[in-house]
Structure 1
Amino acid sequence: MPTPSASAAAVLPARAWIRWRKGRDLPISSAASGVEDADRRFLLYGLLPLWVVPGVADWWMHRRTRIEDTSGARESAVHALMMTEAGIPVAVGLLAKINPLVLSIMGGAAVAHGATALYDVSYATGKREVRPIEQHIHSFLEVLPLTAMAFTACLHPEAVRAALRGGPGAEDWKLLPKERPLPAGYLAVLAATIGVGVALPYAEEMKRCLGARRRRRGA
């Protein structure tokens, strides 16, 4: 029976990742050269960066309704969980070769994100005012993971076919680096955008919530 470390090594081969930037970068053409290129440009330069916009808008709605004095750190922790559920498949999709394992991670994360979002709204509505505009913002945040997965699947039909066959290939259930990685500059700018537009605002939200809870306990 394989040990847990051996199983992890089989799924995540470390040697492959040591040299993950050695391959030639995947060119992302700005010219309209076909449907595949157009899909890739929309996914990388449209969908993923613009994901930050409803995220910031949602954070602002939480701030306006004084989340720190209502639903508090518990709801903020749920937001952190949802960001994790969205962030893991995004990171995997950007860095790893798209195969049945990666598609399964994306699908599972999308389902988990949807379930967590349902719990989030159910909890928040009993604690603070959730306005119609905030619910509309949530609709964008809930559909974006599925949209990203759909575009990824369209760009990699061979991985979809392999997944539907149960992933019979030797590398179908391994987390491998892309043979042609995305440009490092693009990844750096996207990471900075997510850091400034998502991580920092929600870290500030959690800080406010924890500070308010400490003040209430000390009162």
Structure 2
Amino acid sequence: MNLMHRVGWRRGILALAVVSLLTLAAIEVLSDEPELALVIGEPWEDMRRRSSAVIDPAIPGHYWGRMPKSDARLRFADPQYGFVTPLARFFSVSFDDERVSNVRMSPQVEPLLLDDTLKVVLNLQEQWRNAGWVPIRAKDFPSFADTPQWRAQLRNVNKGGTAYWRAGDKYQLMLVVSRFRDNKRPTEERYLITLGIHRSRGVQ
């Protein structure tokens, strides 16, 4: 092996080691984030035991809701239709007689710029497609895409966007993106994402 080959081989090994360390660091950061890991319809206490984020107990015989004690990401723990969101500051989980009833959240910790908003939304949609979710009501509410038409629609404060997805006959979700006036950054275009998940109601 000549000198140039040795240098190239060592550089390749070093680059591989750096990539491996960065990957491990990213995994560690993600695993350290508080999460609510849940399935719609399961016992509330099963969610609490599985989750690293803290959330209060349900109230027997009541329909109500709780919020985690900190920012948290959602890990939808269905073995077939699972997905993971970014950290959320607004995150509300409802219960019905001590069972998880539905979820309403914004998968972000602050209003986002349009580019970042689309990254989050398109990543979620890709996870859903890969897990077997399918768009519904797509004629009137098409799935989000990074196109000039979608960007113009989202920038319109009177329009925004909404999409609906379904997981077999088990779950449905609604994804909404809307323009938001952020008083901390009044000159910037910022956006809110809202995600709602509940049992399927058979909507086509």
TM-score, normalised on structure 2? 0.23
Structure ranking higher on relative contact order (CA contacts 8 Å, 6+ apart): 1
Structure (1/2) with the larger strand percentage: 2
